[in-house]
Structure 1
Amino acid sequence: MIAWGVGLWSAFTALGGLVQRFWQLFACRALVGIGEAGYGPASQALIAEYFRGQRRAFAIGVYSVGMAFGGVAGIWLGGELEQAYGWRAAFLAMGIPGFVLAVLASQLREPLQRRAASLWTTWRGSVERGVRRAAFYLRPLVILGLVGAAFGGVLALFEGVPSEVDAAVFGVFVTAGFAWTIWRLVPAAVRRTTEAGEVATTAFEDFLEAASFVLRTPTLIWVFVGGALVTFAANGLIAWAPSFMQRVHGMTVTQVGRNFGLWALVGSSLGALFGGRMGDALMRRWVGGRVLASGVGFVLGGPVCAALLLVDRPGFFVPLLFATFFFYTWYNGPLASVVLDVVPPQVRASVLGAFVLFSHLAGDALAGPVIGTISDRVGLRTAMLVLPAAGVVGGLATLGALRTVGQDMARVRE
């Protein structure tokens, strides 16, 4: 799963450099997201098997440093490549090396090998069952996506209509399709009463099992809500910070890549390591230690992020950028560990997958269009102040799990 996820992500990142139409770019980016969603939960579940107990949050924190390094270094290098060779070259350069990593990932082995059915039998059964269920549940998303594409295409034919309008119309229909799909999925998940140990054999049934387990676990409800809000805050800042630095501080693309890349990389790397270490240290003394480390970072980092967006002097901007990413990455290791602490091993990857899906759909998938829409009305600086507010609220929501995490952990041990 990890190798296939990395390979899919890399392939469609590279293909993004060859697109000619907006819908082609949208499709490539959507498939990149599918690859990320496939490899991320499986990776953290594998780490959980290697590192048990008190070292788990720090181990996931180290893993998160790799993501931070790749993400920020990609922004840095992408800016340099775009300036020198154009944006298409940047997509190709970022995607092709991933195939090497996919080959390396295919050599990973789980600590406890399980006897599995043949690859052909597993694949054929999964396809047959998955297609039937996917066709039923994804029908609203497909229909509304096609309707949105048709409306957007018609609007694009009229002169004088801004390009943002047809893109916004398409986005509204796709969002409605996602909402309708989730509305159909949730009742199905609630109706399932199978115990967590009776894990379904297909990926789709695993997802329904995970959703049902989440709805029965108070800690996970707090973590899912808080995770969506902090993802909105953190990834929204990553998405809009380059534009903010260009518009407000007058930086070039190269300057943005260098300044943002360097200081965000250093801050996020140190923050992820510190947060993981702190979460494990607190966990030795208190069952809510990892929850505390996850939420406090955003409660402290929110005011720092607000100051970052309000200062005008570059001399203050860079230290505040470093501090914001330092606080905003404390949660990377501990929050995933909290999820792993309150679910049995059989459904870890599925619950993590549901967490990633919900965090992105309700978090950073909304951050871009929400900030963009507000920016068109009141300006980018004012619009981006929504991000630190969401971060503080998300941190407080995560801290709500302090009341329930002990009971939920004890239930898993029984």
Structure 2
Amino acid sequence: MTASNPASAVLTRTTSAAWLALLLLTLVNAFSLIDRKLPFIMLESIRAEFALSDTQVGLLGGVMFTVIYSLLGLPLARLADRTSRKLVVSGALAFWSLMTAAGALGQSFAHLALARIGLAVGEAGAVPPSQAILADYFPLRRRGVAMAVFQAGGALGVMGGLALGGHLVEAMGWRQTLVLAGMAGLALTAAMLIGLKEPRRGQSDEVRRVEAKATLGEALVALWRMRSFKWLALGGALFTLGTSAIITFGPSYLVRVRGFSIADAGAYIGVVTGLAAGAGVLVGGWVSSWNSPRRTLILAGLGLAVSAPCLYFALNTDSRLGLLVLLAAPLFLGSLYMGPSYAFAQTMAPVQMRALTASVMVFIIHGLGTSLGPLIVGAVSDGLAPSRGVDGLRLALMIAPIAYVAAAAAIAAAASRIEGDLPASRVRAAR
């Protein structure tokens, strides 16, 4: 079965509905990162109350969230490809907002873990359908910029979750802060239901027919045959492994090793992450709008390669200003790949598989990167604690620059293959 989609109906301009969708979905992405990262600025308070080890913290920050998040993303993406993507995203936002507020009721590590799992269940339904909606709203020449703005929302969410969260925790406590975050998410859910319109699938692409929906197995085989897709996802996983370790344990490192207050630690990590990573994502998206896919990814790979030594020196400098600059540089340079990689993945995917394609990217990037990064750092930190004390955390964080080097190699491999996976018309549009 095929559905008619006349080429004459292809959307070639960006409408006001598209810009409103971008605003709302960027806010959804920001809220997902706020709720996901907010507990990290609370870690020292939570650790003291529940006597948690760094390994347990790593489980909360990584595996307990990302395994559920990654696995549930696939069926929820298939649901979004077959039904209303707007309702899937809105329902997901409402559910995880309730789970965020429920975390305030925690009385033990098990309670915190259950709330974290509930958060993962909700957030699994957010990003893939959101990217699919944006791909249908924005023509090819603006798709990289739209994906970059969307991803920048996540960086701003990290900034809000850590920087603002640090001040809120000191002012009102960690439990009340979680309740406030949950209430804000429910308010955004109402705005989504009122303001977001569902676009027609494939309306921004030069396709005459939308093929019948493939089975999950057929879709996964089609993605596996795209050589650059695998390298893009692997590069993202390695970058995320290092970055998630820094975001999870960065505030604890500043408090424990460098003597920062909780509020100052949140401001340092939050502002650096939000501004530097957000700027990097936007610049990468802008570059992809006028550059060829291959050159765009080469630039992103070079950015990752330069990021590694910057991060190494950031963890070994005694200067607070030097720490700020050396943390900002790798987060800016490393984030150049994010907008283009998701845009290219959406462009090479058939229109009936867009949510699933984004979900597979999320599955690989977060299933490997976000789950393993915090867990490895937490376990190494605990292992080094008897001999190195608090400095064991600094040494454990050295996994991040190593991961960045490996990510640079993967993105370089994707660059050499990307234009073979994009149809010729789409390569020209992406230049």
| Fold shared, TM-score > 0.5 on shorter chain | yes
After TM superposition, list the pairs within 5 Å mapping 1:391-402 onto structure 2: 391-402=404-415
Q: Distance in 2 between matches of 1:304 and 1:101?
A: 37
1:411 Cα deviation after fit: 8.2
Answer whether contact 1:2 1:39 (CA < 8 A) is retained.
yes
Q: Distance in 2 between matches of 1:336 and 1:293?
A: 16
Answer whether contact 2:201 2:352 (CA < 8 A) is retained.
no
Look up the match of 1:407.
420
> After superposition, what is the alpha-carbon deviation per residue over 1:189-210, rounded to whole angstroms, capped at 9, x for unaligned?
xxxxxxx94424xxxx54x444
Match of 1:111 among 188, 194, 199: 199
Look up the match of 1:321.
327
1:262 and 1:413, CA in 2 relative to 1: closer, same or farther beyond 3 A?
closer
1:321 Cα deviation after fit: 2.1
Look up the match of 1:78.
165
1:99 Cα deviation after fit: 0.8
1:281 aligns with 2:281: no
Moved beyond 4 Å, runs of 4+: 411-414
Q: Distance in 1 between matches of 2:201 and 2:422?
A: 26
1:113 Cα deviation after fit: 6.7
Look up the match of 1:26.
113
> After superposition, what is the alpha-carbon deviation per residue over 1:77-135, rounded to whole angstroms, capped at 9, x for unaligned?
22112222221112112221001111222231233279xxxxxxxxxxxxxxxxxxxxx
Query: How many correspondences in the alignment?
Result: 325
Answer whether contact 1:210 1:354 (CA < 8 A) is retained.
no
1:398 Cα deviation after fit: 1.9
Query: Which runs of 5 or more structure 2 residues have no equivalent in the other structure?
Result: 1-87, 203-209, 385-391
Q: Distance in 2 between matches of 1:113 and 1:288?
A: 27
1:315 Cα deviation after fit: 2.4
Look up the match of 2:90.
3
Look up the match of 2:304.
298
After TM superposition, list the pairs within 5 Å mapping 1:359-378 onto structure 2: 359-378=365-384
Q: Distance in 1 between matches of 2:93 and 2:400?
A: 29
Q: In angstroms, what is the RMSD of aligned CA positions? A: 2.2
Partner of 2:199: helix, strand, or coil? coil
Q: Distance in 2 between matches of 1:293 and 1:16?
A: 41
Identity, % of aligned pairs? 30
Q: Distance in 1 between matches of 2:379 and 2:368?
A: 17
Query: Which runs of 5 or more structure 1 residues have no equivalent in the other structure?
Result: 115-195
Partner of 1:112: helix, strand, or coil? coil
The amino acid across from 1:55 in the alignment is R
Partner of 2:124: helix, strand, or coil? helix
Match of 1:335 among 334, 341, 346: 341
Look up the match of 1:63.
150
Partner of 1:249: helix, strand, or coil? coil
Q: TM-score normalized by structure 2?
A: 0.71
Q: Distance in 2 between matches of 1:209 and 1:78?
A: 43
1:246 aligns with 2:259: no
1:95 and 1:289, CA in 2 relative to 1: closer, same or farther beyond 3 A?
farther
Q: Distance in 1 between matches of 2:277 and 2:147?
A: 14
1:302 Cα deviation after fit: 1.6
Match of 1:388 among 401, 406, 419: 401
1:365 Cα deviation after fit: 0.8
1:352 Cα deviation after fit: 0.6
Match of 1:237 among 246, 249, 252: 246
Q: Distance in 1 between matches of 2:418 and 2:337?
A: 16
1:296 and 1:281, CA in 2 relative to 1: closer, same or farther beyond 3 A?
farther
1:265 Cα deviation after fit: 2.1
1:111 and 1:412, CA in 2 relative to 1: closer, same or farther beyond 3 A?
same
> After superposition, what is the alpha-carbon deviation per residue over 1:229-254, rounded to whole angstroms, capped at 9, x for unaligned?
11111222111110111122110101
1:367 Cα deviation after fit: 1.0
Q: Distance in 2 between matches of 1:343 and 1:411?
A: 14
